Amino acid sequence: MPLPSAMSENRRIAVIDVGKTNAKVVVVDAATGTEIASRSTQNRVAKDGLYPHYDVGVLWAFFVEVLTRFAQSPGFDAISVTAHGASAALLGRDDLAMPVIDYEHVYPEDVRAAYAALRPDFAETRSPLLSGGLNVGAQIHYQKTQFPAEFSAVKTIVTYAQYWVWRLTGVAVNEVTSLGCHTDLWNPQEGGYSSLVDTLELRPLMAPIRSAFDRIGDLRQPLARQIGVDKSVPVHCGIHDSNASLLPHLITRTSPFSVVSTGTWVVSFAVGGRLDQLDPARDTLANVDAYGKAVPSARFMGGREFDLLTEGNAVEPDADVLNKVIRDQFLILPSVVQGSGPYPTLEVIRLNDESRSAPELNAAASLYTALMTNTCLELIGASGPTIVEGPFARNRTYLSALRSLTGREIIASPGSTGTSLGAALLAGAKCSLKPVSDDVVPLDKGFDIYARSWQENPQRK
């Protein structure tokens, strides 16, 4: 699928990339699609105020500081933005009317029950009922019903990536990849807002919808002077982060294929998969890609689970350690993080877990996340090659296990994440995807027995 033709001649593109755990600014060389500069920081959740919320003031100060540094070297000609989903910003006249709520905040049961009773059916939104504020509709319902005085000051609602675009340009817009990622606010079959927007009386507040590729405006002059640029710097609309990872492959591949975008969340996309077999009880859903097309998807909190399982000490296993874990049937059964993923109600069980070393924990965690990923791919009807983006693309145990489980080609994509390239494509970067040169080989046959034990365990049903 080609890029829109009206692209500017930008040589370097600064990408603001806001993940759930970390945020960064990257400069991408437009001619090659490679990252030539990068700075990152932790994305902190503030606990004060009305509810837990993202400290957008700290993030903004970081972005301005890094953009100022990068304006001097290596320089940039345009800005694009990508951000995690499940977030929206409620704007007043010239600032936030309410803090940007942390989507992991859990609401009182009566609030959740009231929202569940009014949200649209899965058949309309292809968005399952998720925990906390993972449905943006649930966030806004909570903010509106529990804090009516503060909500009365809301003038405009924007999706999270576009909040940063608004701070850069002063122009408020929405965009479909963020509206279409399990918000309950979007009807992917119709390509428009769901009935929930009118149920919550939000339509007058929703900013205009623009294409992810659109040039929204130039960097505000006072901000440009502060950063130290003396030319017009176009800012593009931006994109949901998992969809940013998907975009380069939509451009360069033909259906069917799947993309596994890894980070705090492991999000699987089945291009050419089937929307009619999605199961809302197992965290499968339709995402909406940069071109507005619904894509069967599934998710689990794989990066968070891996960190919990390895206790922050991710020492890679060698072949002997991996074989020992497989031979001992050291199994981790889902779910490490409850409330989402293909087994949202199950509690984790660790079998044959006595006195395991850090490399053994890493091996078992890698096999667990591969088994969970394979389950997600099966649920969304994935076929063809599977491209793995992000941190798990460097985990050889995970990749080989996934190769064994799917029986299909596994392609590891280089770089820290694919999100920066995807966002840079919106501003005219060239697509430069170079898979790792060595083939991903399956694990030995002993893993087949290990996988069957995990798949057939009664606790897993």
Helix 160-169, helix 56-72: angle, nearest 10: 60
**Cα separation values, 86 from 100, 212, 443, Å:** 11, 17, 36
- 3-class DSSP state of 437: coil
In terms of Cα–Cα distance, which of 350, 298, 348 is closest to 328?
350
d(CA 119, CA 419) in angstroms, rounded, equals: 30
d(CA 118, CA 3) in angstroms, rounded, equals: 38
Q: Which token pair is 230?
A: 């003396």
d(CA 37, CA 60) in angstroms, rounded, equals: 19
Over its length of 461 residues, how does the chain's per-residue pLDDT go in tens digits?
A: 656 644 456 799 999 999 999 999 999 999 998 999 999 999 999 999 999 999 999 999 999 999 999 999 999 999 999 999 999 999 999 999 999 999 999 999 999 999 999 999 999 999 999 889 999 999 999 999 999 999 999 999 999 999 999 999 999 999 999 999 999 999 998 999 999 999 999 999 999 999 999 999 999 999 999 999 999 999 999 999 989 989 999 998 999 999 998 988 999 999 999 888 899 999 999 999 999 999 999 999 999 999 999 988 878 899 999 999 999 999 999 999 998 899 999 999 999 998 899 999 999 999 999 999 999 999 999 999 999 988 999 999 999 999 999 999 999 985 555 789 999 999 999 876 665 546 899 999 999 999 999 999 866 55
d(CA 304, CA 217) in angstroms, rounded, equals: 36
CATH superfamily of 12-237: ATPase, nucleotide binding domain (3.30.420.40)
Strand (E) or helix (H) holding 252: helix 241-252
Show the beta-strand stretches assigned E in 145-197: 156-159, 186-187, 192-193
- 3-class DSSP state of 50: coil
Within the chain, all domains assigned CATH 3.30.420.40 are found at 12-237, 242-460
In terms of Cα–Cα distance, which of 299, 302, 361 is closest to 135?
299
Q: How many CB atoms lie within 10 A of CB 181?
A: 27
| Contact indicator for 317, 359 with CB cutoff of 8 Å | yes
**Cα separation values, 422 from 3, 53, 239, Å:** 11, 27, 8
Upper half-sphere CA count for residue 41 (Cβ side, 13 Å): 16
pLDDT at site 4 = 60
d(CA 233, CA 285) in angstroms, rounded, equals: 36
Burial class (CB in 10 A: 0-12, 13-18, 19+), 187: buried
Upper half-sphere CA count for residue 137 (Cβ side, 13 Å): 32
d(CA 454, CA 367) in angstroms, rounded, equals: 10
pLDDT at site 8 = 52
Backbone angles phi, psi at 400, to 5 degrees: -70, -40
d(CA 353, CA 332) in angstroms, rounded, equals: 9
CATH 3.30.2090.10 fits 242-460, yes or no: no
